[in-house]
Amino acid sequence: MEPYSRHGKLVRDRIPQIIREDGAEPVTYTAGREEYRRRLRDKLGEEVAEFLEADEDSAPEELADVLEVVRALAADLGVDADQLEKIREAKAGERGGFADRIVWTGNR
């Protein structure tokens, strides 16, 4: 098993370039597969937390960040965006979506 440092965090691919353009030199490395998976899961939690804290104006941008991580997780599992959408559609066809705003409070 490869080492998993708690230091640092997974960042978007262009972040090192953006840091360089701002005049600094980023210190980075490429995570191995297992570390990448763990860091993606961590990133999903981070992005969901940011979405939950967001106001209405910033919520769409934060939700887009969640979607970006979800797509990266799917790709890591070998599922492309079209396949993921088909899985979502099938599940929605079987169980429905959330558009009707139904809240379940138990059974009688």
Spatial separation of the C-alpha atoms in residues 40 and 69, rounded to whole Å:
7
Q: Is residue 6 part of a domain?
A: no
Q: Is residue 10 part of a domain?
A: no
Q: Is residue 108 part of a domain?
A: no
Locate 62 and state its tokens: 């934060």
What was the pLDDT predicted at 10?
96
- 56: domain range? 15-79
Q: Is residue 103 part of a domain?
A: no
Q: Is residue 105 part of a domain?
A: no
Phi, psi of 14 (to 5 degrees): -90, -5
Average pLDDT per 10 consecutive residues for the chain, totaling 108 residues = 67 97 97 96 98 98 98 96 96 96 96
- For helices 33-53 and 59-76, what crossing angle results, to 10°? 160
What was the pLDDT predicted at 1?
42
Spatial separation of the C-alpha atoms in residues 91 and 84, rounded to whole Å:
11
Domain count, the chain: 1
What was the pLDDT predicted at 39?
97
Task: Measure Cα distances from 41 to 23, 25, 73 in Å.
Answer: 31, 27, 8
